[in-house]
Amino acid sequence: MTRKRQAAKLLRDAAALIEDPERWTTTYFARTAEDHECLPTDKAAAKWCMLGALGKISGKHHAVLTEAQTAVERHVGYGIGNFNDTHTHDEVLRAMRAAAESLEAQE
Query: CA-CA distance, 82 to 6, in Å (whole number)?
Result: 24
Q: What is the pLDDT of residue 61?
A: 83
Model pTM? 0.95
- The pLDDT tens digits along the chain (107 residues) read 799 999 999 999 999 999 999 999 999 999 999 999 999 999 999 999 999 999 999 987 899 999 999 999 999 999 999 999 999 999 999 999 999 999 999 97
Query: CA-CA distance, 6 to 43, in Å (whole number)?
Result: 24
Q: What is the pLDDT of residue 14?
A: 98
Query: What are the contacts of 40-49 at 24+ separation with CB within 8 A?
Result: 47/18, 47/22, 47/23, 48/14, 48/17, 48/18, 48/23, 48/24, 49/24, 49/25, 49/81, 49/84, 49/85
